[in-house]
Amino acid sequence: MSGRILDIITITCLFISAQFCQVLASDNAGGTEEDFVLRIYLPREITINDDCISLGQVSIIRGKESLVAKASGIALGRMLVPGQQIIIDRSIVLSRLACNGIPVSKVRLTGAEKIKVKQQQQIIKGGKFVELASLFLTKNLSDHSLAQLNPIWMPKGLVLPDASRNIKLSPRWVGGGARDRAKVQVGVFADGKEVGVREVTFRLKYNRRKVVALVDIPRGVPISRENVKIEETVSNYPEPANWDPPYGLIARSRIPANSTIRSHMVGPVNPPVIVKRNRTVAIRIERPGLLITAIGKAMQDGRAGDYIKVQNADSQRIIFARVNADGTVEPVF
C-alpha cells in the first residue's frame, strides 16, 4: 500500500516538474531570463477605484525594484465619466514604457492581448461636474478672447444607488444670465434614465486691450503713440468688436499719467454740433431717486461737453447747461 502511495507521489512530482519546465520554456522563448529587465503580466479584465489608470493598477510587474516602481507609475489614460470602460492593448503598454525610457527589447509581456479596465464608482464628486462643464464651455463658446473659466462654487457630489449600471454624464446650456457669467447643467443618466443633475456657474474673464497715458495729457491734446501705450489686460467683459486705439482723438479734459483712458475721456478733434442756436432742447436733471425734465431754447450752438446758455420755456430764466451726447442739456448749479 505504501509502495503505491510512493509511486503516485513520484508521478505527481514528475508531472509538476514537466509543467513548470514547459512554462519556463514558453516564457523565455526568444531570449533568456537575463535578457529582460521587466516581466509584465496583463489580465483580461480589471476594476479600479481611481480616475487615473496606471500600469501598476492593471498588471503584475516583476523585475528590478527601482524599475518596477518606475513602470508602476506610468499613466495609461483617464476615466472621464463613471462606469466608463477603457481597452488597453499591448502596443499601448509597450509604447508608454518606451516613452519612459524602458525599451521594448527589455520587456516580456505575458497574459492577455488586451485589458478591459472598468471603474468602480459609487459617488460622482463635485469636481467631476466642474471638469465636464468646463470642457463643454471651452468647446462651445465662440469667443476666442475668453481667458478664464472660474467656478463660483463647487457643486455637491452625487451618490449613485448602483455603480455597476451604464452611467452617462451629459452637459447642457442654461439660458439667461449676465455676460460675465455662464451656467451649465450636467445631467446624470443611468441606463438612459436621468437620475440626477448638477448646475455649475462660472465667472468669465476675457482678454482685452486698454490704453494707458504715459504722461499727463492736457485738455485738447491729441492722443498719439508718443503719449499713450496699449496694454493687455483681463476683464469681466469682452472687447467691443469695433475697438480701435484712440489715436487722433483729443483729450476732453486733463488725463493724468498712468491712468486708463476710457471712451468718454476723448473725442473727435472737431466734434459735431448737436444742439443748435434757437432750437428747442430738453433740460434734464437726473439724480439717484430723482428725475426732473423741462423744455428750453438753446441760446448758442453746442457740442457734446460744451457749456451753453439755455432759456427755460416756463420761467424764461436763462441758465448755463452742459450739452450731453444724446442732445439733452444738464443745468450747472
CATH, residue 82: 2.60.480.10
Cβ-contact 273, 303 below 8 angstroms: yes
Name 319's Cβ contacts closer than 8 Å, sequence gap at least 6.
283, 296, 309, 310, 311, 312, 331, 332
Please identify, among 267, 293, 319, the residue that sits at the C-terminal boundary of a domain: 267
Please identify, among 178, 203, 228, the residue that sits at the C-terminal boundary of a domain: 203
pLDDT of residue 192: 82
Answer whether residue 5 is part of any domain.
no
Answer whether residue 25 is part of any domain.
no
Answer whether residue 12 is part of any domain.
no
Cβ-contact 305, 324 below 8 angstroms: no
Are 232 and 281 within one domain? Answer: no
Are 129 and 98 within one domain? Answer: no
Answer whether residue 18 is part of any domain.
no
pLDDT of residue 181: 87
pLDDT of residue 327: 92
Answer whether residue 19 is part of any domain.
no
Q: Quote the domain boundaries for residue 142.
A: 123-203
Are 227 and 188 within one domain? Answer: no
CATH, residue 245: 3.90.1210.10
Could you report the average pLDDT of every consecutive run of 10 residues in the chain (333 residues)?
Answer: 44 40 40 69 87 90 91 87 80 92 91 87 83 90 81 87 71 78 90 89 92 95 95 89 90 94 86 91 86 94 91 94 92 85
Answer whether residue 180 is part of any domain.
yes
**CA 63 – CA 37 distance, rounded (Å):** 6
CATH, residue 176: 3.10.129
48 sits in which H/E element:
strand 45-48
pLDDT of residue 146: 84
pLDDT of residue 193: 86
Are 301 and 257 within one domain? Answer: no
Structural domains counted in the chain: 4
Name 116's Cβ contacts closer than 8 Å, sequence gap at least 6.
44, 45, 46, 85, 86, 87
Are 181 and 235 within one domain? Answer: no
